[in-house]
């Protein structure tokens, strides 16, 4: 019996059931074990002010290390790039819908993008939006997709931003708009499965449901993120796409106010001997990114 740990939000449960179905299709017995996370308990503070890395993964990590569960299912973009000792990402499912999309309240349908008051607690989404529309007002918003939609209709703001994956997975009939300038968070749209490194049997089982091309792309994105951030939350976007052994990569670092941005676009043949994510991040750091990260760190502390 494989005990599958998951947060208990509707989206997290959907992700865990996807993993469960794949394991059951291979003949394995499973059971779902919902775990309430610190990130779900505190819906009033924006994530960057909680002072916790892995705010949505910490409780599942503890359950995993205490042998209360055998695997933990996550949205990979919520998983810190530095994992606790004896925990690894052992498999990822094929990525779907990595984009961010804009969802408006019904009374704001006719407003221009520059006029919208936006609800988001994401530093990345705020900064990338401000680059285009520097006079925008923001409100903090937290909670699962359903909670944020309710707050959108009731709140004093015009629109919010969602990961398209969440909308599609919940089969929600929403009007949304794609935003070309909004580069996704590293590993957005990817379901990841963590296990204990010393649990060799479970790790081997998980390899049977791992999607290799997605794994290659998110490793590049997460290495880019880890090299840039140095343990600090910052407005960073990264997306890699795999096509016939060619990788197409976009990376971005922005100041908190969106006034300064560093962009990188690369196309290359993949080989597993080179750490492309680290290489691209170092190029950004050497081109002004190091100074930008220092400023971001000091601004977040204050």
Catalytic residue among 78, 100, 158, 199: 78
In the block, residue with structure tokens 């680290």? 278
Question: Apex CA 11: angle with CA 18 and CA 86, to 5°?
Answer: 70
Hey, what are 50's tokens?
A: 């909680």
- DSSP letters along 213-242, please? HHHHHHHHHHHHHHHHHTT----EEEEEEE
Q: How far apart are CA 130 and CA 252, in angstroms?
A: 14
**Among all chains, which residue has been given the structure tokens 């790790």?**
203
Q: Is 267 exposed, middle or buried (0-12, 13-18, 19+ CB in 10 A)?
A: exposed
Q: What is the DSSP string of 106-149?
A: GGGTTS-GGG--EE---HHHHHHHHHH-TT--EE---S-HHHHH
Q: Is 96 a catalytic residue?
A: no
Beta strands at 159-163 and 177-178: parallel, antiparallel or unpaired? unpaired
Extract the tokens encoding 65: 């290390």
Residues classed as catalytic: 78
């Amino acid at each position: 019996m494989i005990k599958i740990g998951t947060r208990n939000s509707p989206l997290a449960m959907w992700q865990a059931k996807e993993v469960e179905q794949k394991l059951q299709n291979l003949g394995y017995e499973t059971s779902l074990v919902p775990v309430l996370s610190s990130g779900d308990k505190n819906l009033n503070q924006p994530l960057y002010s909680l002072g916790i890395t892995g705010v949505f993964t910490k409780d599942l990590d503890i359950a995993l290390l205490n042998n209360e569960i055998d695997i933990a299912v996550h949205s990979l973009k919520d998983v810190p790039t530095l994992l606790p000792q004896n925990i690894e990402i052992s498999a990822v499912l094929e990525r779907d819908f990595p984009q961010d999309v804009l969802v408006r309240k019904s009374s704001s349908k006719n407003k221009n993008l520059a006029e919208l008051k936006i609800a988001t607690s994401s530093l990345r989404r705020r900064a990338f939006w401000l680059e285009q529309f520097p006079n925008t007002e923001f409100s903090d918003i937290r909670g699962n997709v359903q909670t944020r939609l309710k707050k959108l209709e009731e709140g004093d703001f015009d629109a919010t931003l969602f990961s398209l994956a969440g909308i599609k997975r919940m089969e929600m009939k929403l009007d949304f708009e794609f935003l070309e300038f909004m580069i996704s968070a590293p590993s957005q749209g990817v379901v990841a499965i963590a296990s204990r490194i010393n649990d060799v049997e479970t790790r081997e089982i998980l390899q049977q449901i791992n999607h290799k091309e997605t794994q290659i792309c998110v490793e590049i994105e997460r290495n880019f993120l880890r090299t840039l951030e140095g343990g600090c939350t910052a407005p960073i976007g990264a997306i890699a796409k795999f096509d016939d052994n060619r990788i197409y990569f976009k990376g971005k670092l922005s100041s908190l106010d969106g006034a300064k941005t560093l962009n990188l676009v690369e196309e290359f043949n993949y080989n597993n001997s080179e750490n492309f994510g680290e290489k691209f991040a170092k190029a950004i750091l050497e081109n002004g990114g190091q100074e930008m990260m220092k400023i971001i760190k000091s601004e977040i502390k204050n």
